[in-house]
Amino acid sequence: MRDDLAFAVWSRERQQRIEAVLAQLLPSEAAPSPRLAAAMRYAVLGGGKRVRPLLAYAAGEFASADPAAVDSRAAAVEFIHAYSLIHDDLPCMDDDALRRGKPTVHVAFDVATALLAGDALQSLAFEALNGAFPPGAHACRVLAQAAGHAGMAGGQQLDLDATGAALDLEALMRLHALKTGALIRAAVRLGAACGRPLADAEAHALDAFADAAGLAFQVVDDVLDVEGSAATLGKTAGKDAAQDKATFVTLLGLASAKRHAHALHENARAALAPLGGAARRLSEIADWIVLRTH
């Protein structure tokens, strides 16, 4: 099979797999509040590229882990991601009405329910971790740090603090290393931790890969925000400019931002080079992240 075809089959299979895992872990209509359960399911299911779960599965494969061992951790990371999107879209944050081609949760339900659905999804992430094999306090710490004040939430606050302010490239990269990078790094670490013990050099290589791929992902996001349409993106296009936010495009210009994405892509691939063929899926995910159109 051609390589790109093999990756398409692999990623489709893993996307279907994580969809089933997520659906299984989410509360059903029999939950104490059916409305809360419905909002949580609406936010998580039936959309999304599942980049973070794919990274967890691919890192698991690198460490010879069974995909079944990765399931709960991949789901935990996706629950954190989904909660962050709900809260990010709220009126007090980006005030966005469209996400994954559907009305955002606070539009489809209401603001208070969206707030609680995000809160409950964060709890569910840590609950899911516990069904993971191997279970463990280590995974709880890795995910909590990636999500918290020194990770994703800290990055979102930096983003907030910077609205309307002039950021330089270094500050913007630091912001995104937290806002999106921390959780991507956690996805790779949590997946890899399901397999054989890694040598330090392997663990460092995976971290370096995740950091470069995470930043590349964000730069491409900024490019697509300018070049894409709501129809292809599934979310409001052009909103960075409308909100007067510093992005890689506003700082570097469109052409230079694309070159920056290309360079980060090369860094991600270079980080994997010493790891050999076992890291192939990770490399293919990086290709897919950079070459995507939405």
Q: Which residues bind its own copies (CB under 8 A)?
A: 27, 31-33, 35-37, 40, 83, 87, 90-93, 110-113, 115-116, 118-120, 122-127, 129-130, 135-138, 140-141, 143-145, 147-151, 153-158, 160-161, 174, 178
Find the distance separating the first CA and the last CA of the chain, reported in whole Å: 26
59 within 8 A of 192, measured Cβ to Cβ: yes
- Least distance CB 165 / its own copies (angstroms): 13
Distance CA 71, CA 58 (A): 12
Distance (Å, whole) CA 216 – CA 190: 21
CA separation for the pair 17, 67 (Å, rounded): 9
Tell me if 243 sits within 8 A of 163, measured CB to CB. Answer: yes
Minimum CB distance to its own copies smaller for 177 or for 206: 177
**Between residues 13 and 110, which has the closer beta carbon with respect to its own copies?**
110
Are the C-beta atoms of 250 and 241 separated by less than 8 Å? yes
Q: How far is the CB of 196 from its own copies (least distance, A)?
A: 20
How is 88-100 classified by DSSP, letter by letter? HHSTTTT--SEET
Q: Which helix (H) or strand (E) holds 142?
A: helix 137-147
Which C-beta is closer to its own copies: that of 163 or that of 256? 163
* Both structure tokens of 84: 């962050």
Find the shortest distance in angstroms from Cβ 217 to its own copies.
Answer: 19
- Residues 251, 166: Cα–Cα separation, whole Å: 9
Task: Dig out the tokens for 39 from the structure.
Answer: 């909002």
Q: What is the closest distance, in whole angstroms, from the C-beta atom of residue 32 to its own copies in the complex?
A: 4
Between residues 126 and 288, which has the closer beta carbon with respect to its own copies? 126
103 phi and psi angles, rounded to 5 deg: -55, 140
The backbone torsions φ and ψ at residue 179, rounded to the nearest 5 degrees and listed phi first, read -65, -45
- Where are the extended beta strands (E) located within the chain? 98-99, 102-103
DSSP 32: S
Query: Which of residues 190 and 223 has its CB atom nearest to its own copies in the complex?
Result: 190
> CB of 170: closest distance to its own copies in angstroms?
14
Task: State which residue, 31 or 208, has the beta carbon closest to its own copies.
Answer: 31
Shortest distance (Å) from residue 153 CB to its own copies = 4
Closer to its own copies by CB, 34 or 274: give it.
Answer: 34
Nearer to its own copies, 56 or 220 (CB): 56
Minimum CB separation from its own copies for residue 246, in Å? 15
Smallest distance, Å, CB 36 to its own copies?
4
